[in-house]
A and B are shown apart, each in its own frame.
Chain A
Amino acid sequence: MNTILEVKDLSMDFGGLRALDHLDLNVVEGEIAAIIGPNGAGKTTFFNCITGIYNPTEGEILISPPGKKRKKINGLKPNRVTKKGMARTFQNIRLFSNMTVLENVMIGRHCRTSSGIVGAILRGRSTIKEEKDVVDFSYNILKKTGISHLVNEFAKNLPYGAQRRLEIARAMATEPFLLLLDEPAAGMNPRETRELDELITRLRDEDNVSILMIEHDMKLVMSLSDRIFVMDYGRKIAQGTPSDIINNPVVIKAYLGEDIDA
């Protein structure tokens, strides 16, 4: 198994506050990994660091996309990171609300296409072809994520569950090797969560994408993930398979507090 994401000794300070404290983490090809932890443990900060939104204070972030060389991505801008093949979704949905569903996904194709201003004005053969490819590709992703009936709706008019799906679809349009999902099931009802479970598994199996997700829904985490990382106060306090984690006293302590008898 190849490691595709390797995070070594990552720290992030906000002024005097240490949000991430010497964190080590890795993701191997084809797995679904989950990060769990109480609120404020630094999970989203971790995502922001590895996607280039924050520049980490210390440590190294290395990626090795399948078939390519290992590369350090510290300090790269978010758009460069996405182009390298790591795409993310956001905890508080950040869609382009006044664009249609299809256009939202088409934005994801931006970094894989190249036509510029002159091409757009002259609308030559290559631009028309590229545009058509983008539309077809995006529509296929919408079909795969099960929201193709909403193509021409404005993103802001979508029901909540569909918005979450659209975020995933948009990230998938960038053809990532690693998909980072920030609380994909937040606010979903049990049925929507089940459908999400199925969608994520299908993306992994059919599109050869590995998944790293932050999630609070334990049922989803336990059923989906191959490995789980547990964070608390910016540190990784445990890692392992779901069954390891569920019985780990350190994890139980972090979630439920100190045991009275101990």
Chain B
Amino acid sequence: MIKAQEIKKSFLVSLWFMFLTFPIMVIRVNPIEKFVEWRWKNMLVVGIGSFLLSFVWRYMLKKKEAGEKRAETGESGKTFLIQRILEERRFYIPLVTGLTIIAVAFPFIFSMYQTSIMTTALMYIVLGLGLNIVVGLAGLLDLGYVAFYAVGAYSYALLNYHFGLGFWSVLPIGAVLGFIFGVLLGFPVLRLQGDYLAIVTLGFGEIIRLVLENWNEFSFGPSGIANIDRPGFFGIQFSLQTASIYLYFLMIGLVIFTIIVVNRLQNSRIGRAWIALREDETACQAMGIDKTRTKLRAFALGATWAGMVGVIFAAKTTFINPASFTFLESAMILSIVVLGGMGSILGVIIGALILILLPEYLRAFSDYRMLLFGAIMVIMMVFRPQGIIANIRRTYKFNE
């Protein structure tokens, strides 16, 4: 009985899809020879394909619902596994050692191109972890995160151009400038929540980009700034190959530093305040947490990281212009956080690797890669809205 109903449902779905794709998949007008080609075979393929896929779709949805029910009653299987791997030393230590070996050997095994892609992915990991403080922990939807990234990049480019300052001296300056801009943006948006906040931050991101694009005397406009120095190492000049390896290890260092900082923060007094703010603003304030300061801290700290990565970005590409700091970039970083799992460090790392590396390696299917990319995002959000790795809170043991 149920089977018959299922088949009916899938049949309707396939009919609907055939109808939807009819104009593009079936009809082809040949304007040269002036005739219309009817490709009924395509329609058949779409029909059968959607008929079968709808079964898979429903099966997956059912599995997800069952999983949610299990989580409600408190006996969740999957999240437990991850938690166990992270906690037990006998899993944890070999895993970390393995990762370290891979990370160290990577630039020596693979080509410069691969190393460069990996460096980019590492930069997005740090950006993701920085935005994770704002969006994942404090729950403030920031759509203009790229503005702080631009602040960092331009501070290095301009200081280098005008005063010849080196990478290492600008890195902290970029971080501080990011922090200051975070506070500056933080102030006006403190009273806003949710959608309103998102729109204001979106506006802020655009303002920064438009200023950089149009204020020619200051930022050289759309033509950007070229010939930015690569990071130095006590005055030694590297060849292009060594420089990219150097940058790779620099990013590995920054990633480790960021992980340590974010991990410590999220289980600290401040981190808990952020999460409480995300969960319930009124209750949070009624429990004695200063809403204003907590929000400002999240904004400023997230921006600090964007500022730092901005400096590295400028040093890596040696050329920047406003086109690198569009809204799409903010959306990408936000996707990393949401896809990976809000508030989860491991999730953000995996999310960044997937979202940055996947389009690169999908170049083989270049015609379909953005389609696949989009499909993966949609499927993830339908079946696992909490992200790849859901946030796990620290547990405490008491022996009494």
Q: Are A and B part of the same complex?
A: yes
Interface residues on A, range: 35 or more
- Whether a CB of chain B sits under 8 angstroms from the CB of A82 is yes
Nearest CB of B to A77, in Å: 7
Nearest CB of B to A148, in Å: 8
Assembly CA distance A94 to B280 (angstroms): 7
Query: Are the CB atoms of A98 and B275 closer together than 8 Å?
Result: yes
- Whether a CB of chain B sits under 8 angstroms from the CB of A107 is yes
List the A side residues contacting B285 at CB < 8 Å.
77-79
List the A side residues contacting B291 at CB < 8 Å.
77, 79
Assembly CA distance A53 to B276 (angstroms): 17
Query: Are the CB atoms of A111 and B264 closer together than 8 Å?
Result: no
Given A96-B280, A100-B395, A123-B264 in contact, is the A107-B286 Cβ separation under 8 Å?
A: no
Query: Are the CB atoms of A115 and B269 closer together than 8 Å?
Result: yes
Of B72, B271, B275, B391, the contact of A120 (CB 8 Å cutoff): B271
Assembly CA distance A77 to B72 (angstroms): 36
**Which of B290, B301, B391 is packed against the most chain A CB atoms within 10 Å?**
B290
> Would you list which residues of chain A between 97 and 143 have a CB under 8 Å from chain B?
97-100, 102-103, 106-108, 110-113, 115-117, 119-121, 123, 127, 130-131, 134-135, 139
Assembly CA distance A139 to B273 (angstroms): 18
Nearest CB of B to A67, in Å: 20
Query: Are the CB atoms of B283 and A174 closer together than 8 Å?
Result: no
- Whether a CB of chain B sits under 8 angstroms from the CB of A152 is yes
List the B side residues contacting A51 at CB < 8 Å.
286
> Would you list which residues of chain A between 211 and 248 have a CB under 8 Å from chain B?
none
Q: Is the interface of A mostly helix, strand, loop or mixed?
A: helix
Assembly CA distance A123 to B394 (angstroms): 17
Q: Which residue of B lies closest to A109 (CB)?
A: B269
List the B side residues contacting A103 at CB < 8 Å.
272, 275, 393-394
Of A99, A113, A127, the contact of B279 (CB 8 Å cutoff): A99
- Whether a CB of chain B sits under 8 angstroms from the CB of A13 is no
List the A side residues contacting B269 at CB < 8 Å.
110, 113, 115-116, 120, 130-131, 134
Query: Are the CB atoms of A115 and B268 closer together than 8 Å?
Result: yes
**Which of A96, A106, A115, A153 is packed against the most chain B CB atoms within 10 Å?**
A96
Query: Are the CB atoms of B275 and A88 closer together than 8 Å?
Result: no
Query: Are the CB atoms of A102 and B268 closer together than 8 Å?
Result: no
Query: Are the CB atoms of A110 and B272 closer together than 8 Å?
Result: yes
Assembly CA distance A93 to B67 (angstroms): 26
Q: Which residue of B lies closest to A100 (CB)?
A: B393
Nearest CB of A to B268, in Å: 3
Nearest CB of B to A133, in Å: 11
- Whether a CB of chain A sits under 8 angstroms from the CB of B35 is no
Q: Which residue of A lies closest to B277 (CB)?
A: A96
List the B side residues contacting A87 at CB < 8 Å.
286-288
- Whether a CB of chain A sits under 8 angstroms from the CB of B380 is no
Query: Are the CB atoms of A153 and B290 closer together than 8 Å?
Result: no
Query: Are the CB atoms of A53 and B282 closer together than 8 Å?
Result: yes
Nearest CB of A to B385, in Å: 14
**Which of A82, A119, A120, A154 is packed against the most chain B CB atoms within 10 Å?**
A120
Query: Are the CB atoms of A139 and B288 closer together than 8 Å?
Result: no
Q: Which residue of B lies closest to A84 (CB)?
A: B288
Assembly CA distance A112 to B288 (angstroms): 9
Assembly CA distance A113 to B285 (angstroms): 15
Q: Which residue of A lies closest to B262 (CB)?
A: A121
Of A97, A115, A135, A170, the contact of B287 (CB 8 Å cutoff): A170
- Whether a CB of chain A sits under 8 angstroms from the CB of B396 is yes
List the A side residues contacting B74 at CB < 8 Å.
153, 157
Nearest CB of B to A68, in Å: 17
- Whether a CB of chain B sits under 8 angstroms from the CB of A83 is yes
Query: Are the CB atoms of B286 and A53 closer together than 8 Å?
Result: yes
Query: Are the CB atoms of A95 and B288 closer together than 8 Å?
Result: no
Assembly CA distance A167 to B162 (angstroms): 58
Q: Which B residues have a C-beta under 8 Å from some C-beta of A?
A: 72, 74, 261, 264-265, 268-273, 275-276, 279-280, 282-291, 297, 301, 391, 393-396, 398
26 residue pairs from A and B, CB less than 8 Å apart: A51-B286, A53-B286, A78-B282, A79-B286, A79-B288, A79-B290, A79-B291, A82-B288, A87-B288, A90-B286, A96-B283, A96-B284, A97-B279, A98-B391, A100-B393, A110-B269, A111-B289, A115-B268, A117-B301, A120-B270, A151-B395, A151-B398, A152-B395, A154-B393, A157-B74, A174-B288
